[in-house]
Chains A and B, each alone.
Chain A
Amino acid sequence: MMKQLLSVFVFLMMCASAKAAIWTEENQWSEDYEKQYKEWVRTNAKVNFFSAEKKPNGEPNPYYGIRVDCADLVYSYRIIFAYENKLPFVIANPASPRGPLISNQVSRFDKVAEGIPRLRRFLVWVYDIVGTSSLNLDTYSIPFKEIGSGTIILTSKKNHHSWTIVDISKTGNPHLIYNSTVGRESGFQVQERQSWPNPFWVFEPEVARDDETKTINVYKSGSYAGFRYWRPTEFLKQPEISVPGFSDEQHTVGLGKWKTAAQSSHAKVKETIDQVVMRLLKDACADYKQRVESVRDAETFKSNLADDLAAGKTEEQSSYVRDFMRDENKPSDQRCMTYGKFDEFSTPSRDKRFVDALMLARTYLREGITKYGEKAFAAENMKMYKTIFPLISLSAADEVAKDKTEKASNLFCSLKINDTLGELSLPEVKRRLFLGRLSSNPNDAPTRRFGYPKTSKDLGSSCPAYDFQQKPYNLQEIEQEMLKEVKTAL
C-alpha cells in the first residue's frame, strides 16, 4: 500500500515539475533538410495555408485561422516546417540581444496540450516578439544564384515589408507570398504576386530621425535589405559575413540592375516583351485588388465603431469602443480615426507601389514598341494595353494631361468597389491615380478613395491627419526611374 502511495506521490511531483519543449527535436538541420525545406515551401506555401479549413486530402487544416502579418508569415513557414520535421527552431532574441535565444525548447507553454495547440500558442508568442526589424538578425545576405524557394526578401526600414519566394518561373520571375498589416486584420488568406519587387522600394533610403530632410542610404555593402536566407543556429550571434554562403553581390551590382540580375540568374527561357507587359499588368491588378480590400476593411472598421458608439456600448461590451476610449489622442469628433487606426488604414505607401507598378508596365510597353515595334505584341493584348495607356507615344505626364475620357467599367481588371459605386476598371483607376485623384486618407469615403468627386462624407480634410499629407505624384521623376531599369533589361 505504502509503495503504491509513494509511486502516486512521485508521479504527481514529476508531472508538476516536468519541463517540456514545444516539440521534441529528433533531427538536426543539414544540407538535405534545407533542400527539403525549400521544396516544402514550393509545394505548401499557398495563399490559403491559413484560410483553408481542410487540407487537399480532406483532413482538417491544423493551421486554419492563424492571423499573420508580413514578418509573421516569413517566420511561420520556418517554424511549421521545423515542427513537422522535428527540427530545432532557434532565432535571436530581439528584446535582449545578450539574453537567451528564442527556440522550440521554451517550456512556458508546458500546460498547453502537446502538438498543434502548443505549437499555435508558440507561434502567437513568436509573432509578438519578432518583426521585420528582427529578420536581419536571423538571416544573411545570399548571392543571386542561391535565390530560390524559401528565400526571404526584406525591404529597408522605411517600408518595413518582407516576402517569401515560393518558386521561380522558367522566365526567371518569382512567385512571392506575403501579407500586410491590413491583410492580417481582414482574414486568414495571404497575398501573392508574380514579379520582383521594385528595388527602389526595397532599398528606399531611411529618413534621418534628427532631420527629416536627410536620408540614409540603404543600398550599400552590408545592407540588411534584399535577398536573405535563414542563419544556422551557431551563427545567430555572429557577424553576418561569417555565415558560410554569405555574399554581398546583390549590394554591389547597382540598384538599376538588382532585379534583372536576379531574373537573369534563374531564367531558362527569355520572356517576350508582350509577356513582360502582361505580367506587370497582372501585378498591378493584384495591387488594385488589395487596395479595394484595404479600403473595404477601413470602412468596416469605421462602421463598426460608429454603430457601437451610437448604441452606447461600453468598453467592456465593444472592443472598438475600448480601443477608441483608451487612445490618449482620440479625436473629439468620434467619426475620425485615432492615430493608431489612421496609421493602420491609410494607404500612401500602397498607393505609391500601385503607381510604380503601372508606370513600370507603361515604360516596358513604350520602350518595347520603340525597340521591337507593335508586331512584337499580340493584337488582342495591344488593344487592351492601349485602353490603359491610350497615348503611349507620349510621356506619362503628357498622357495624363491629355487623356480626359472616362474609361468603361467592363475593361481589363474591373473590380467591384462596393454596392453603391459598382465596378471600376483598371484603365479608369489608372487615369484617376495618375491624376492624383485617389485619396490615401482613411477618413475619406470610398468615393474619394477611388477618385470620384468629393462629397460631404469625406472627412479627410476636417479630421486630424497626423503627419500625413496627400501629395501629387511626380510622374516625370517616377518615369525616369523606371526608364533606367527598363533600358538595362531590354
Chain B
Amino acid sequence: MTKKQKSGVGFLIVSILVAWWFVNNFVPKQDATALSEDKPSIFTEIKQHKPLTPIEENLAAESISAKLESKPEHEFKAQLEKCFPESDLKNVTKENLISYFERKANLSNPRLELEHYELRTKEAKQVVVQMIPGEEPKDQVRVFSISEEDGLPDRIHEFPNAKSEIAERIKGALTLGELVQKNETTQQQGALGELLEIEKFKDKVLRIRYSEPDLDFSCDNAKCECFKLTK
C-alpha cells in the first residue's frame, strides 16, 4: 500500500466515524424495523426541574405577548364593520370588545372549554398538558411532549397519577416540568346560536372569537378577520 493509499484509507475511516457520530447525535432515533406501538414516556426523566432563567422567562412572556392592543385600529374596525354593518360601533374599542359582544348577545357565565398548560422539563424539553372538560374520562387530561426537531407532539400516556381521577391526574401531569404558561379558553353561548370564545393567559386576551349562525369574527395574534356566510 502506498503512502497515498494509506492516507486514503485513514480518511475513509475518519469519514465513517464522522458520519456515525452525526447520525447518533443529530438524527432522531427510531427503531428501524419494529412496528410496535411504543409510547414515549418522560415520566422517569423528570425528577427535578431546572428553574427557568430570566431569559427563558422573557422568552416565555414574549411568546404570549401579542396582544390585541398592538393591532392597527383601522384593521380592527374595518373587520368589525364588515361583520356588523348595521350596528353602532363608534364606541366599540379593542378594550371593551368582550363586553360589547356580551351585551349584544346577552351572554353570561363563561364556561371553561380548555386548559392548556405549557411546561418545561429540567432538560428544557417542552411538555403540553391539556384538560378538556367535556371529553371522555380517559382523554380529559392529555399530555404531549413537543419534539425539538419538528415541533410536533408525541402523546405521553404514563405520567404521575395517570390513572387517577381528573383532579389528581392534572396534578400529576403538572409535575412533569416547570409551568411556563397556562392558557384558558372559555365559551359563552347565546340563545340564538351566538358563541363567544376567549383564550386568555392570566388577564391577557390572546384570542377572541365571536360567531353567529352566519358570521364569524375573530381576533388573534396575527389579525382580526370577519367571515360572513354568503347564501
Contacts and interface: CB of A to CB of B under 8 A. Distances in A.
Contacts of A131: 135, 139
B33 A113 contact: yes
Interface stretch (B49-57, B84-92, B152-160): B152-160
Interface string B199-230: 00000000001011111101001000101110
A348 to B, nearest CB: 12
Nearest to A4: B8
A128 B213 contact: no
Given A12-B15, A133-B132, A339-B165, A222 B27 contact: no
A158 B134 contact: yes
A98 B150 CA distance: 14
Interface in A180-234: 181, 206-210, 216-217, 220-222
A99 B227 contact: no
A129 B144 contact: yes
Contacts of A15: 19
**Contact-residue bracket for chain B:** 35 or more
A132 B139 CA distance: 10
Contacts of A132: 135-136
Nearest to A9: B15
Interface in B101-150: 111-112, 128, 130, 132-139, 142, 144, 146-147, 149-150
Interface stretch (A240-248, A454-462, A469-477): A240-248
B70 interface: no
A108 interface: yes
B35 A95 contact: no
Interface string A324-344: 001111000000001110011
Contacts of A251: 193
A2 B19 CA distance: 17
Contact of A16 (B22, B153, B193): B22
Contacts of B225: 239
Nearest to B136: A160
Nearest to B9: A5
Contact of B28 (A108, A160, A338, A340): A108
Given A16-B27, A109-B30, A113-B32, A95 B130 contact: yes
Interface stretch (A116-124, A261-269, A313-321, A403-411): A116-124
Contacts of A8: 12, 15
B47 interface: no
B39 to A, nearest CB: 7
A466 B64 CA distance: 39
**Contact-residue bracket for chain A:** 35 or more
A378 interface: no
Nearest to B29: A111
Interface string A382-406: 0000000000000000000000000
A343 B130 CA distance: 20
Contacts of B128: 95-96
B135 A133 contact: yes
Nearest to B118: A96
Contacts of B193: 220-222, 251
A85 B115 CA distance: 38
B218 A239 contact: yes
Nearest to A67: B37
Interface in A93-143: 93-96, 98-100, 102, 106-113, 117, 120-121, 124-125, 128-129, 131-133
Interface in B166-192: 168, 172, 189, 192
9 contacts: A93-B152, A95-B146, A112-B33, A121-B30, A128-B39, A129-B144, A239-B225, A326-B163, A329-B165
Interface of A: 1-2, 5, 8-9, 12-13, 15-17, 93-96, 98-100, 102, 106-113, 117, 120-121, 124-125, 128-129, 131-133, 157-158, 160, 181, 206-210, 216-217, 220-222, 238-242, 246, 248, 251-252, 326-329, 338-340, 343-344, 466
Name the 4 nearest CB pairs between A and B, nearest first: A221-B193, A157-B134, A95-B153, A221-B213
Given A13-B22, A96-B146, 7 more contacts: A13-B19, A94-B153, A96-B151, A100-B152, A132-B135, A132-B136, A343-B138
